[in-house]
Amino acid sequence: MQDMTELYLAAALFMGLHLVISGTVLRRIITDMIGEKAYMALFSLASIGAIVWLAMSYNDAVVSTENTVYWQAPVWLAHSGALILLVAFLIGVPGLLTPNPTSVGGEAAAEKDDAVQGMVRITRHPFLWSVIIWAAFHLGANGDRASQALFGTFLTVALVGTFSIDRKRAKKMGESWRKFARQTSNLPFVAILSGRTKLALGEIGWWRPLAAVVLWAAVLMTHEMVFGVSPFLR
């Protein structure tokens, strides 16, 4: 049980950092004590450390005798994996490459006339939604206990994180956030379908999707070498 316990502890640390510290009044208390820059540096280091611990403990737990298999993924899901992950990359990478008030240190973008542009029109949390899609797919494709713990952690943190960021930005930015939020949506495509904004693929450009496809292809080609599991059916 030691391997699974360590994985659970690593998952609890990662969730605690993002949901208990970053997502609550504890962040303000800490930043008042040490300052915003010091907090961000320590938080980043702690997050990287938690992810490394998660990865290492998962590698041990997934081959452990305690790693119960709850279900076998259907063949159709395994076949669709590459396409599902391509969608995640096409949302996340262009989102990271677009100025966004929800990004770390990006609050000033809300003051610009073109604050709502490109991928932000689809969702104001493009990177987190790419993580949600990635984690949800891996939850369905991997029915073992260790994978449920790992990918369930990322799915929970990313999904709750979208609401947490909205709450913090609304409190910090006031009217500039409310104006931005009225034209965008958390859930992808809701703002477009409700008429609050329009789809403008031209604003995304060609190089952002190209960067997403290149990165997606690189991950597919190196997946087995890095993670020990081939993304291609044999």
Task: List beta partners, residue 144.
Answer: 69
Q: Would you state the pLDDT for residue 110?
A: 80
Cβ neighbours of residue 14 under 8 Å, at least 6 residues apart?
47, 50, 51, 54, 153, 157
Residue 184 gets which letter from DSSP?
-
Q: Would you state the pLDDT for residue 234?
A: 55
CA atoms of 80 and 3, how far apart (whole Å) = 31
Block mean pLDDT (10 aa), the chain, length 234: 88 95 86 90 95 94 90 88 96 95 83 88 98 97 95 97 94 92 96 96 96 96 82 66
Structure-token pair, residue 228: 């020990």
Structure-token pair, residue 172: 């910090």
Q: Would you state the pLDDT for residue 78?
A: 83
Q: Would you state the pLDDT for residue 233?
A: 62
Q: Would you state the pLDDT for residue 22?
A: 87
CA atoms of 220 and 170, how far apart (whole Å) = 38
